[in-house]
A = this chain, B = another copy of it.
Amino acid sequence: MVESETAAVKRASIGAKRNPASQNAILDAAEAILNEEGLAGFSIEAVARRARAGKPTIYRWWPTKTALLLDVYQRFKNTRPFPDTGSLEGDLKAFLNNQLIGFWQDRLCGTVFRSIIAEAQGDDDAAQALFAYERGRRKFAEQIIERAKARGEVSAEFNGAVVIELLAGFAWHRLLTGRLNNSDEDIDAVVAMIMAAAKNGLRS
């Protein structure tokens, strides 16, 4: 993904339209800087230097630093499955492992997402972008509970939204406190807790 991080190639305009080579070089550079120096060293200036791009080229396509971060994050998505494992327990574990904790452990996904969350705490635009994205992800994940209800695994009153947010919150907390690794056992514990609550058939 970061194949051209020291791209010494000369990259001119390709006419009156966006040059995908530049776009990729910028995203590559952004990713590489986050990887090597973390959020603290991540500046538009540094990205431009590394990508051998002009600053205006970056500002033309990404209005804010966070927009660039979000784009870097988007490049990682779509690869991991979000399967119907046939059981609530399996689905919840897959959710944590494939979409949250496990996903963030892969490459820079976690680093980038941490940066986005941090950025959103001080910048309103970033906040709106992140919140919209996150709300969508949660809504999507609530299908897990709908499937479980269809299967009869949980009662219709079971509060799916809260379950999903509990899992997401747990994962965010692990991410933001630098404790993603060695979470396997705790993931099992969390899911077991949810399953226990589900078996009691309560409305939440």
Contacts and interface: CB of A to CB of B under 8 A. Distances in A.
A139 interface: no
Protomer copies: 4
A109 interface: no
A8 interface: no
B169 A40 contact: no
Nearest to A179: B131
Contacts of A203: 189, 192
Contacts of A189: 159, 162, 203-204
Given A39-B122, A193-B197, A194-B197, A166 B169 contact: yes
Contacts of A123: 40
B159 A165 contact: no
A200 B40 CA distance: 46
Interface stretch (A25-33, A82-90, A112-120, A140-148): A112-120
